[in-house]
């Protein structure tokens, strides 16, 4: 792995009671306390953010949210803004997760709005891109990733990517147990870096690109050892403290 900043972020999705979220956060905080060289982030449901933040108060673990509305405030029943999440202590925001794109119809333009909103409140976006199996099999991988990336680059400008984390999550590997092979993942990570370097080599070289999609303790090391993979965005395995800690250890060790 290059000398870029490495991160392992746990996307807890819509899981956990208040009690179990606090317990998981405390266990992650204890279990990763001695690790160096990796930023550890947990992203609970928004309702648990305050309690999770208290549970990890004196640790290096950071809290992120899974979604935000792009406006600061207004008549948007049921929504939360990036500024409100920032007030709660969120330093990171997952944006454009494939579940948001597919299940909630988020468009590339809405994703760009949200990345822009997060950056406007000093919240680091974890900006997700990824193709479906159909898109991959139809030979559209490059076009899909390019379109998803370009929408955000055009909106916020390439220099803003100095404060963006990119996550490549092939949709077919999410929650399916099918992981992209380290070589398949590396190929797309390198492609993303090349696309960004057409705008700025400096920014492209420095940006952290995380891999997500069935990362487990058993495959983390092989994935994280790839030249352009700078850590992971973890779903299912992030709900188990021991598994998540082992994945953080793998990122710290490479
Ligand atoms: P899994 O690790 O469960 O495949 O989920 C990946 C993911 O969607 C993380 O955002």
Spell out the per-residue pLDDT of the chain, length 254, in tens.
Answer: 447 999 999 999 999 999 999 999 999 999 999 999 999 999 999 999 999 999 999 899 999 999 999 999 999 999 999 999 999 999 999 999 999 999 999 999 999 999 999 999 999 999 999 999 999 999 999 999 999 999 999 999 999 999 999 999 999 988 888 888 999 999 999 999 999 999 999 999 999 999 999 999 999 999 999 999 999 999 999 999 999 999 999 999 99
Which of 8, 9, 11 should be mutated for ligand 1, with most atoms under 8 A from CB? 11
Which of 15, 213, 240, 243 should be mutated for ligand 1, with most atoms under 8 A from CB? 213
**Is the Cβ–Cβ distance between 47 and 21 less than 8 Å?**
no
Which of 129, 235, 237 should be mutated for ligand 1, with most atoms under 8 A from CB? 235
What residues does ligand 1 touch, defined as CB less than 6 Å away?
A: 11, 97, 169, 174-175, 212-215, 233-237
* Residue 82 exposed, middle or buried by CB count within 10 Å (0-12, 13-18, 19+): buried
How far apart (Å, rounded) are the C-alpha atoms in residues 181 and 213? 10
Indicate which residue's Cα is closest to atom 9 of ligand 1: 235
Nearest atom in ligand 1 to the alpha carbon of residue 98 is 8
**Is the Cβ–Cβ distance between 39 and 64 less than 8 Å?**
no
CATH topology of domain 7-253: TIM Barrel (3.20.20)
> What is residue 65's predicted lDDT score, i.e. its pLDDT?
98
Nearest atom in ligand 1 to the alpha carbon of residue 97 is 10
Active site residues: 97, 169
Distance (Å) from CA 235 to ligand 1 centroid: 3
């Amino acid at each position: 792995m290059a000398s870029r900043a490495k991160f392992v972020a746990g996307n807890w999705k819509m899981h956990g009671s208040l009690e179990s979220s606090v317990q998981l956060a405390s266990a992650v905080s204890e279990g990763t306390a001695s690790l160096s060289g990796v930023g550890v982030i947990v992203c609970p449901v928004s309702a648990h953010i305050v309690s999770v933040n208290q549970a990890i108060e004196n640790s290096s673990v950071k809290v992120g949210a899974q979604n935000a509305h792009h406006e600061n405030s207004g008549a948007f029943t049921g929504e939360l803004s990036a500024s409100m999440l920032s007030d709660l202590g969120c330093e990171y925001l997952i944006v454009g997760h494939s579940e948001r794109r597919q299940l909630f119809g988020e468009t590339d333009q809405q994703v760009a709005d949200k990345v822009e909103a997060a950056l406007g409140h000093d919240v680091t976006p974890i900006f997700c891109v990824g193709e479906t199996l159909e898109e991959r099999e139809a030979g559209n991988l490059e076009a899909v990733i390019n379109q998803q990336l370009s929408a955000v680059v055009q909106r916020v400008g390439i220099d803003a990517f100095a404060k963006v984390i990119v996550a490549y999550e092939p949709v077919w590997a999410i929650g399916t147990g099918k992981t992209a092979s380290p070589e398949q993942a590396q190929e797309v990570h390198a492609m993303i870096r090349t696309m960004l370097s057409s705008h700025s080599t400096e920014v492209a070289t420095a940006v952290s690109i995380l891999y997500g999609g069935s990362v487990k303790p058993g495959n983390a090391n092989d994935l994280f050892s790839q030249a352009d993979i700078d850590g992971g965005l973890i779903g299912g395995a992030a709900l188990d403290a021991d598994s998540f800690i082992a994945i953080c250890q793998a990122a710290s060790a490479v």
